[in-house]
Chain A
Amino acid sequence: MSAPPVAAPQAQVEKAKKKAKPVSRQRLSFGQRLRRDWPLLLMCLPAMLLLLVFHYIPALGNIIAFQDYNPFVGDDPLEAFLYSEWIGFGNFEYLFKNAAFWDSVVNTLSITAFQLVFYFPIPIFLAMLLNSIMSPRIRSLVQSVVYLPHFFSWVLVVSLFQMMIGGAGLLAQTLRHAGYTPPDMMTNPETFMFLITSQALWKDAGWGMIVFLAALVAIDTSLYEAAAADGAGRWRRMWHITLPGLRSVIILLLILRLGDALNVGFEQFVLQREMVGREAAEVVDTYVYYQGIAVQQWGVGAAAGLFKAVVGILLIVGANKLAHRFGEQGIYSKS
Chain B
Amino acid sequence: MANTLPGASTNRRNFLGLVGLGAASLAGGGMLSGCSKEPGTSGSATNAEQAAGLVPTFKDSTLVQPDVKGVRPMADGYLKYPTSLADAVSEKAITSGKPVTASTPWWGPAPPTANKLVEAVSADMGGTIQFSIQDGNTYGDKLNTMLGARDVPELTCIPGWEVDKLARFSEGVHAIFEDLTPHLAGDKVSAYPLLAGLDSVAWQESVWGGKLMGVPFPVDAPFPSVLFYRKDVADERGIAAPTTLAELHEFGKKFTNADKGEWAFGDIWLEVQQICGAGGSENGWLKTADGKVVHRMELPEYKQAVEFMAKLYAEKLVHPDIASSKGGDVTTLFKGGKVFMYATGGGSWKETWRPAVQTNPTFNMQAVKVFGAEQGKAPVRWKARSAIIWTFIKKGLGQERTQELLRVLNYTAAPFGTKEWELQNYGAEGTHFKRDANGTPVTNDLWVKEFANQYIFLGGRPPVVVGGPDIPTYANDFVTWGNDATQYLEKNPWEGIKVETPSSQAALAKPTEDKITDVLRGRTPVSEFDKIVSDWRAAGGDAARDFYAKVLADNGR
Give residues 193-215 of B contacting A (CB, 8 Å). Answer: none
Pick from B37, B141, B175: contact of A87, CB under 8 Å: B37
With A77-B150, A177-B259 in contact, is A89–B35 under 8 Å at CB?
yes
Q: What is the interface size of chain A, counting residues whose CB is below 8 A from a CB of the partner?
A: 50
- The stretch of A2-10, A93-101, A242-250 in contact with B is A93-101
Least distance between A96 CB and chain B CB atoms (Å):
7
B510, A76: Cβ atoms closer than 8 Å? no
A271, B325: Cβ atoms closer than 8 Å? yes
- The stretch of B161-169, B226-234, B454-462, B489-497 in contact with A is B161-169
User: Which of A89, A94, A176, A293 lies at the interface centre, i.e. has the most chain B CB atoms within 10 A of its CB?
Assistant: A89
**Is B521 located at the chain interface by the 8 A CB criterion?**
yes
**Is B239 located at the chain interface by the 8 A CB criterion?**
no
Bound form: Cα–Cα A31–B141 in Å: 50
Least distance between B423 CB and chain A CB atoms (Å):
36
Give residues 369-427 of B contacting A (CB, 8 Å). Answer: none
**Is B66 located at the chain interface by the 8 A CB criterion?**
no
Bound form: Cα–Cα A21–B172 in Å: 69
**Is A90 located at the chain interface by the 8 A CB criterion?**
yes
In this complex, what residue of A is CB-closest to B262? A168
26 contacts between A and B (CB under 8 A): A69-B39, A72-B168, A72-B171, A72-B174, A87-B36, A87-B37, A87-B38, A89-B32, A90-B36, A90-B38, A92-B32, A93-B33, A162-B325, A168-B261, A168-B321, A272-B324, A274-B324, A277-B518, A291-B507, A293-B141, A293-B144, A295-B165, A295-B167, A295-B507, A297-B39, A297-B503
B36, A89: Cβ atoms closer than 8 Å? yes
**Is B444 located at the chain interface by the 8 A CB criterion?**
no
Bound form: Cα–Cα A296–B169 in Å: 10
**Is A172 located at the chain interface by the 8 A CB criterion?**
yes
**Is B123 located at the chain interface by the 8 A CB criterion?**
no
B39, A162: Cβ atoms closer than 8 Å? no
Interface residues of B (CB under 8 A from A): 25-26, 29, 32-33, 35-40, 141, 144, 147-150, 165-168, 171-172, 174-176, 258-259, 261, 263, 319-321, 323-326, 338, 503, 506-507, 510-511, 514-515, 517-518, 521, 523
A88 neighbours in B (Cβ, 8 Å): 32, 35-37
B324, A275: Cβ atoms closer than 8 Å? yes
In this complex, what residue of A is CB-closest to B174? A72
Bound form: Cα–Cα A275–B318 in Å: 13
Bound form: Cα–Cα A19–B168 in Å: 69
A296, B32: Cβ atoms closer than 8 Å? no
Least distance between A14 CB and chain B CB atoms (Å):
31
In this complex, what residue of A is CB-closest to B170? A72
In this complex, what residue of B is CB-closest to A290? B510
A278, B514: Cβ atoms closer than 8 Å? yes
List of 6 A-B pairs having minimum Cβ-Cβ separation, nearest first = A167-B320, A88-B36, A296-B167, A90-B36, A278-B514, A71-B148
B259 neighbours in A (Cβ, 8 Å): 176-177
Bound form: Cα–Cα A73–B168 in Å: 10
Least distance between B195 CB and chain A CB atoms (Å):
27
Bound form: Cα–Cα A162–B33 in Å: 47
A62 neighbours in B (Cβ, 8 Å): none
**Is A68 located at the chain interface by the 8 A CB criterion?**
yes
Least distance between B138 CB and chain A CB atoms (Å):
12
Bound form: Cα–Cα A76–B26 in Å: 33
Give residues 69-91 of A contacting B (CB, 8 Å). Answer: 69-73, 76-77, 85, 87-91
B37 neighbours in A (Cβ, 8 Å): 68, 85, 87-88, 90
B144, A91: Cβ atoms closer than 8 Å? no
A276 neighbours in B (Cβ, 8 Å): 523
With A68-B39, A93-B33, A295-B167 in contact, is A187–B258 under 8 Å at CB?
no
Contact pattern, A 284-324, Cβ under 8 Å of B = 1, otherwise 0: 00000011011111111000000000000000000000000
Bound form: Cα–Cα A73–B172 in Å: 8
In this complex, what residue of A is CB-closest to B151? A77
B39, A299: Cβ atoms closer than 8 Å? yes
Bound form: Cα–Cα A73–B261 in Å: 55
Bound form: Cα–Cα A177–B176 in Å: 59
In this complex, what residue of A is CB-closest to B263? A168
Bound form: Cα–Cα A302–B360 in Å: 52
B32 neighbours in A (Cβ, 8 Å): 88-89, 92-93
A187, B324: Cβ atoms closer than 8 Å? yes
Least distance between A272 CB and chain B CB atoms (Å):
8
With A90-B36, A167-B321 in contact, is A277–B521 under 8 Å at CB?
yes
Bound form: Cα–Cα A59–B268 in Å: 45
B325 neighbours in A (Cβ, 8 Å): 162, 271-272, 274-275
With A187-B323, A278-B518 in contact, is A295–B506 under 8 Å at CB?
yes
In this complex, what residue of B is CB-closest to A85? B37
With A87-B37, A277-B523 in contact, is A294–B323 under 8 Å at CB?
no
Bound form: Cα–Cα A211–B321 in Å: 37
A90, B39: Cβ atoms closer than 8 Å? yes
Bound form: Cα–Cα A296–B174 in Å: 18
Bound form: Cα–Cα A298–B38 in Å: 13
A176 neighbours in B (Cβ, 8 Å): 258-259
A89, B511: Cβ atoms closer than 8 Å? no
B319, A189: Cβ atoms closer than 8 Å? no
